[in-house]
């Protein structure tokens, strides 16, 4: 079962879009107590009626904008006893600059098909000299970050670099080679 639009939006607002969502809600005097639980905040934003809660609806739509042009892919990962299908949603894949260094930055939502509860969200980067994509941020099932390093930050030695499975990394490389546009 591939993730529906609502599942993608909820997981994006809970993880990769949460910081922007909280920042955009601040001028609306949204209570700070309502922003501590990323899962609940994302759900509240998605059900916001454009007539009853127009500002909350507008902010949610603004934060969700990267999903409108996101590219996607499907990958099969062989496990010991089965093959698991995953859908990857890539809202952002671009070159970025950190000081005098330019590298690649990606945001990736992953959904495992057999149970959409098995999902992941990552901010990744590949700087000059990196042989692969490195996880800068990953998110727990609660939506809170497990790892949180800014793009281009100093990285620990090779033992501290975490990355994704090769099939996911290959898809990011394929999307870069494809250039702008939709993934197939």
Tokens of 57: 């609806």
pLDDT tens, residue by residue, 105-146: 999 999 988 765 678 999 999 988 888 898 888 998 888 887
Model confidence, pTM: 0.87
Q: How far is CA 56 from the centre of its chain?
A: 21
Please give the DSSP secondary-structure letter assigned to residue 149: -
- What is the tens place of the pLDDT at every residue in 57-97? 999 999 999 999 999 999 998 878 888 889 999 999 999 98
43-58 b/e (C-beta count within 10 Å ≥ 16 → b): ebbeebeeeebeebbe
Most distant CA pair in the chain, distance? 52
Average of per-residue pLDDT across 164-178 = 92
Rounded Cα distance, 55 and 159, in Å: 46
Res 150: pLDDT = 67
Local structure of 96: helix, strand or coil = strand
Q: Write phi, then psi, for 67 (nearest 5 degrees).
A: -70, -25
């Amino acid at each position: 079962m591939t993730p529906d639009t609502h599942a993608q939006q909820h997981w994006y607002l809970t993880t990769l879009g949460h910081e922007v969502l909280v920042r955009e809600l601040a001028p609306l005097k949204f209570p700070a107590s309502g922003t501590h639980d990323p899962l609940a905040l994302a759900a509240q934003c998605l059900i916001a009626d454009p007539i009853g809660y127009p500002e909350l609806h507008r902010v949610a739509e603004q934060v969700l904008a990267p999903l409108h042009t996101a590219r996607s892919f499907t990958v099969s990962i062989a496990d010991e006893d089965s093959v698991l299908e995953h859908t990857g949603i890539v809202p952002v894949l671009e070159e970025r600059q950190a000081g005098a260094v330019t590298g690649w930055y990606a945001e990736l939502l992953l959904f495992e098909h057999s149970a959409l509860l098995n999902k992941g969200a990552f901010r990744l980067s590949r700087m000059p000299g990196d042989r692969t994509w490195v996880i800068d941020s990953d998110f727990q099932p609660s939506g809170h970050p497990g790892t949180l390093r800014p793009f281009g930050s100093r990285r620990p030695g090779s033992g501290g670099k975490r990355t994704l499975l090769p099939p996911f990394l290959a898809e990011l490389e394929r999307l870069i080679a494809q250039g702008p546009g939709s993934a197939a």
